[in-house]
Chains A and B, each alone.
Chain A
């Protein structure tokens, strides 16, 4: 179902947060692409730069953060340093966001219909009955009853709110949707429903998606390709089956090992060691302080990406 056309490309993306005590390198030389109709899962622990990648893709990195290098291409058009007015046209029509906090992502004082409509009318000339029909159809598509149209956010449950967000995101049939931990604030049952809604919508509309999360188990069921991030660097990218079958990078191995299992009790290994100070990364591999297989070579120079299997790349010294 995924064609070869790349709808979103991040080329050598660098994002720094400029603090009084030096620049924090939040995203370091990230290369990633999303093909049409594909879901790419971006995983990594808290603070590894997943959300910064998402926000910089939307050109919404908040100060003191700034994109210091690289390009972001949507359907071939580079959007870095595009003027604000052009960006505004592009947002939502080409690039939509499903935000992180399900509980808080809708304006509490306006009705659902208004919040869904304003995103549409900002980009399309549509009003009256046509607009109403469109919003109702969108609600229906995500499995919400018609009465939601006239309700306020506080009258909806968390799962319903998140489905409203999904309906909003697909309203203009964008090229790429960025889902920033779309299910993280929900309980498992609702998570399942929301994930299913996302998949339904994606299959019907054929949109491409970057899905951010740290739940490897959930991502495994939803995404086509997985990109693993550590401390601002991509360490492994590959098709989901290949990654789960042969995780090459020690960090990916640890992440997959950390998926809880009912069959055996496993000690949690990922927490060993600390992430380095993001202001002055060490020479060599970014994972050297926590890697169980660390060698002298790891401290010399950063590893290069190497293709291990079709479409499956890893950056680790032991394969270089």
Chain B
């Protein structure tokens, strides 16, 4: 019967928590499997900085005590889970008194804002271009133009970013080259700041959209060609329906389903996804934070971001799962099968 049933909802919700639990447990286990000791690593960085550290063994012991690393692994695990629920990941190793979570939160809106818009735009453009390319009735002039829009797909997006910076920012001085906003504006909900943020976001946005829409377009083209040969598509034309209705209701409506799944799975990579773009544009997002944390071996920050990726991916999949029975009536987890 399609649609959302209560059993289906509960099942999906359980799946959601199970996924997060397994993912979060893995981020707990993997650093402990690696065998390297974060406190010793910290001491080493201190030594590198100052040459000699007195009472190194006492410091290690004190650290272990305060981080709770001497407790049995089970206790550590339960305490970790408890902290994860409260978004409390402890202190950052690299920037010690700062909490790991407090290093990540300021970066979140930047990345989510930029990449959500970029992903949605590239999905919409890509799907539109791809569907038109895969449709037999597309006017010929349009079919000649469309592939041109995919030229930049073959350029890596960071290369395209560098190109944009050098031309648009340095040669033409149209847009600011790097950063999330200028230093001379006051962060907050005021017009100059918002305008400044938008100006800074344009180039990273374009470099992501232009270079990633091609993937969607090519995938969608293949899906659309497949639908073109389906009997129901033929019948829709034989019914004398308007081309627009055939295209949207019979074509895209069916062809887009696998693309939507891929899109939902890609939501998780929003957080860590465009590290290179954020790096090139010095954009203050989580990708850049993750890059720095990996460089500085800042375990707790890495853990924070990893867990965020897990939670956001799971949320994306959950939302898709809940929407799927509405867009594809064949998907339902009901046990009884209609005769």
List chain A positions with a Cβ less than 8 A from chain B.
58, 60, 62-63, 87-93, 95-97, 99-101, 104-111, 118-119, 122-123, 151-152, 154-155, 157, 165, 168
Contact = CB atoms under 8 A, between A and B. Distances in A.
Given A91-B240, A95-B238, A152-B330, 7 more contacts: A89-B240, A90-B240, A97-B238, A104-B232, A108-B328, A108-B330, A151-B338
Contact of A122 (B2, B232, B240, B339): B240
Interface stretch (B24-32, B215-223, B249-257): B249-257
Nearest to A111: B329
Contacts of A154: 329-330, 338
B124 interface: no
B260 interface: no
B237 interface: yes
Nearest to B327: A109
B234 interface: yes
Interface string B221-255: 00000000011101111111110010001100110
A109 B252 CA distance: 11
A119 B338 CA distance: 26
Interface residues of B, number: 27
Interface of B: 1-2, 136, 230-232, 234-242, 245, 249-250, 253-254, 257, 327-330, 338-339
Contacts of A101: 231
Contacts, number: 86
B254 A105 contact: no
B240 A107 contact: no
A111 B2 CA distance: 10
A93 B240 contact: yes
Contacts of A97: 234-235, 238
Contact of A60 (B238, B327, B328): B238
- The 3 closest A-B CB pairs, nearest first, are A91-B240, A119-B239, A105-B231
Contact of B254 (A90, A93, A109, A123): A109
B240 A88 contact: yes
B239 A107 contact: no
Contact of B249 (A60, A107, A108): A107
A151 B249 CA distance: 17
16 contacts: A87-B240, A88-B242, A91-B239, A91-B240, A92-B240, A97-B235, A100-B231, A107-B253, A108-B254, A110-B253, A118-B241, A122-B240, A123-B240, A151-B338, A154-B338, A157-B339
B223 to A, nearest CB: 13
Contacts of A87: 240
B239 A122 contact: yes
- Of B257, B327, B338, most buried by chain A (CB within 10 Å of CB) is B338
A119 B240 contact: yes
Given A101-B231, A107-B254, A60 B330 contact: no
Contacts of B327: 109
A99 B230 CA distance: 11
B241 A152 contact: no
Contact of B234 (A60, A89, A95, A155): A60
A111 B330 CA distance: 11
B231 A99 contact: yes
